[in-house]
Structure formats: C-alpha cells, structure tokens
Amino acid sequence: MKKIVAIVLALTLALSLAACGGSDDKIIKVGATPAPHAEILEIAKEILAEEGYTLEIVEFDDYVLPNQSLDEGELDANYFQHITYMNEFNDSRGTNMVSAAGIHYEPFGIYAGKTASLDALADGAQIAIPNDATNGARALLLLEQEGLLTLEEGVGITATTDAIVDNPHNYEIVEVNAELLTTTLQDVDIAVINGNYAIDAGLKVSEALAVEAADGDAAEAYANVIAVNSGEENSEKIQALVTALKSEQVKTFIQETYEGAVVPLF
C-alpha cells in the first residue's frame, strides 16, 4: 500500500510540475515604458487572452533597466526602444538582444519651453536634447533639419555635439536624461523630446514646433521593436505577441489614440 501511495504521489507531483511548465509557456512577461508602449500592450493583452496566453506588463520609467531585466532573464521581451538604441546598447553593454518585429515609429518633436517659437530663439538660447548616443544624434539631426545648426557632412545617426560645425547663434546644447526632458522643459528655451515621453507628459505632436520629416530615414532607423534575447525571436509565444501587436485592433487603437504621435509600421 505504501508503495502504491508513493507512486500516486510521485505521479501527482510530476503532473503538477508539467502543468506549471505548460503554464509558463502561456505567460508572456514584457517590459515597457508607460506610454505608448504599455497602453498598446493592453490592447494586445486582450487578443492574446483569446489565444490562451497571459500577458504580464512590467512598466519601467527609464531606458536601461528594461534591457538589463531582459538580459537577466526576468522578462521574455521588452517593448520600449527603437532598433538603433537596441543595437547601441548591445555594443556598449555586451547584451545579445535582437528584434522580433518592428511595430511602430514615434516622430521626434521640438517642444516650446521658455521660448514659444523657433523664430524667437535668442542668441545663446538653451536647447535640451537626450544625453544617450542614439537619441542625442537623432535630436541633433532634427535641429539641423530646422536650420538651427549644421553637422559634419555624412555624420548621420552617429552625430554628437562634437560634430556641430556651424552654430551661428551660439545655442547652448544641454544634454539631459531622456526621461527628464519633459520635467525640465520650462527651464530651457526648447527641447527635443522622445515621442513616448512627450505622450506620457501630455504633449501633442500637433503642437510641436517641428517634427521629423515623414520621408526621412527616421522611420527605418528608429522603428520601435519587440526586443528579445537572441534565439527567442521565433518562439511560439513571442510570435503570438508579434501577431497580436500587428493586429488590426492595435493598428486602429494607435491611429485613433495618438493622432500621428505614433505611426504603425504594419
């Protein structure tokens, strides 16, 4: 009898462990910044639930922790960054992230702080830009697009402040953590702000003083991606996540909610 009971208990434990493993395969843990990424994921969450998946959304307020958490295996994926930033992070931090899919593009905008328009900028005006390499370069390219400064020819998305070759009005370029740009906006004349942080702060792209040209290279270079650790991009649950995020429901939500501040890439 004891032997039979032991066998039954062993089988029960084995089935329990198998069930837990199966349930883990149906849980997708994704890191995201609050807007628009976490908001978009909420729509995908409903779609995934119909397919038997549980989407757990973990919110972050910076650009470093969600990548560290992914690298350490605490997340299955993250959705907050563009592909250029991801590649730069891999190079500088030794991580091995890849894109499972490009989902959307967020046009960078120049927003008014103490100065209400670009024409009203005084000599020596302070212009805030993100202090990380990829977003900083993107900001400088937008400032060049608007004729506020000139960069070395061909420097492209590798631009830094050292690449400024002409700054006729001696604008002071103030490099700030991207997540702090909206909170320090009133302390500078203008700021070039990442789309997600602008949305989160209630800034409307329609009210921006300038926006990246729609026909430029930005949509490709700065496509926001589902980032995963290399080797996981074709897993069943990651592909289920991608399919949900590329659904018509998500596309409609993006277009109706963000009014041009977020542009679907599907």
Residues 103-154: tens digit of each pLDDT: 999 989 999 999 999 999 999 999 999 999 889 999 999 999 999 999 999 9
Q: Which two tokens stand for residue 185?
A: 């906006």
CATH of 2-106+222-264, one of 3.40.50.720, 3.40.50.300, 3.90.1150.10, 3.40.190.10: 3.40.190.10
Cα dist. 59→35, 68, 78, 100 in Å?
A: 10, 13, 10, 20
Per-residue confidence band for 220, with pLDDT thresholds at 50, 70 and 90: confident
Single pTM value for the model? 0.76
* Contacts by 119-125, CB closer than 8 A, 24 or more apart: 121/148, 121/169, 121/171, 121/189, 121/190, 122/169, 122/189, 123/169, 123/170, 124/169, 124/170, 124/171, 124/172, 125/169, 125/171, 125/172, 125/189, 125/190
Q: What is the mean pLDDT of the chain?
A: 91
SS3 99: strand
Q: Do domains 2-106+222-264 and 109-214 have the same CATH topology?
A: yes
Asked if residue 3 has pLDDT above 70, the reply is no
Task: Give the domain ranges of the chain.
Answer: 2-106+222-264, 109-214
Q: Average of pLDDT values for 32-61?
A: 97
CATH superfamily label, 109-214: Periplasmic binding protein-like II (3.40.190.10)
pLDDT-derived band at 196 (thresholds 50, 70, 90) equals confident
